[in-house]
Amino acid sequence: MNTTELLSLLEQLTRGELDVASAHGRVVEALRARPFEDLGFARVDHHRAIRQGFPEVILGLGKTPAQIGAIAAEIARRGSTLLITRASEAAYAAVRAELPEAVYYPDAGIVALRQGDIAPGKGTILVCAAGTSDLAVSEEAALTAELMGNDVERLYDVGVAGIHRLLGERERLSAARVIIVVAGMEGALPSVVAGLVSVPVIAVPTSVGYGASFGGVAALLGMLNSCSSGVSVVNIDNGFGAASIASLINHL
């Protein structure tokens, strides 16, 4: 009930077009409405999809195939694009039983079902990866970004040990609107990339390495301490998280 509606209601009441009980009931209802519903909180999923261009995503980690299958069916039934990350073969089987047209991308560990409900991003998201061992995380990022409506370019195996490989691709670097940089070991690639471009760089440390890489901690610290400005960081191996913020940026 907006103030115009309220004014009208009160005027109806004074004009006798409305009895006190009815007026009382309608105003009480307006007062009682759960504020979070008034703010749109209660139907958040639909609002999120409308505003952000992407519905709820399922993190496959720590859920049973049966649970994943059930949630996936519910999301798809709404006509929403389905995205499941960290999905196993078994999870895919459970989803396919419900949604035969769902697709499994084993390199990325993703199950997806596109439904045409996603708004396109404005530019290109470039996913750079330091080495071939970073493939799984890079593909999680690249595929997530694509599903979220973005044009995605891939630039893999351009680690800093052979800096010429990166420098030779400066045009593709310059053409991107957002760059996701995936690297394990010392995690130096985001610093070098960010020094070459003028767009935001989202850095993803990977758990690639051994010994004192400590499961990605070395790369994470390297990226947090980047001497280049324009870099921010997500969790270790979190290709999905990098794609999410990159997509938000690319939809601005």
- Cβ-Cβ contacts under 8 Å for 162 (sequence gap 6 or more): none
Q: Is 194 among the residues that bind a second copy (CB under 8 A)? A: yes
* Binder among 112, 177, 181, 182 for a second copy (CB under 8 A): 177
Residue 128 bridge partners (DSSP): 155, 181
Q: Is 107 among the residues that bind a second copy (CB under 8 A)? A: no
Beta strands 201-205 and 151-156: pairing type? Answer: unpaired
Q: Taking CB under 8 A as the rule, which mask of x and - marks residues 114-153 in contact with a second copy?
A: ---------x------xxxx--------------------
Helix axes 135-147, 239-250, angle to 10 degrees: 30
Q: Is 70 among the residues that bind a second copy (CB under 8 A)? A: no
Nearest distance from residue 64's CB to a second copy, in Å? 10
CA-based Rg of the chain, rounded to a whole angstrom? 24
* Binder among 110, 112, 118, 236 for a second copy (CB under 8 A): 236
CA–CA dist 175, 126 (Å, integer): 9
The region of 73-81, 92-100, 104-112, 170-178 touching a second copy under the rule CB under 8 A is 170-178
Nearest distance from residue 65's CB to a second copy, in Å? 14
Structure tokens at 230: 């324009």
Q: Is 180:218 a contact under the CB 8 Å cutoff?
A: no
Nearest distance from residue 31's CB to a second copy, in Å? 7
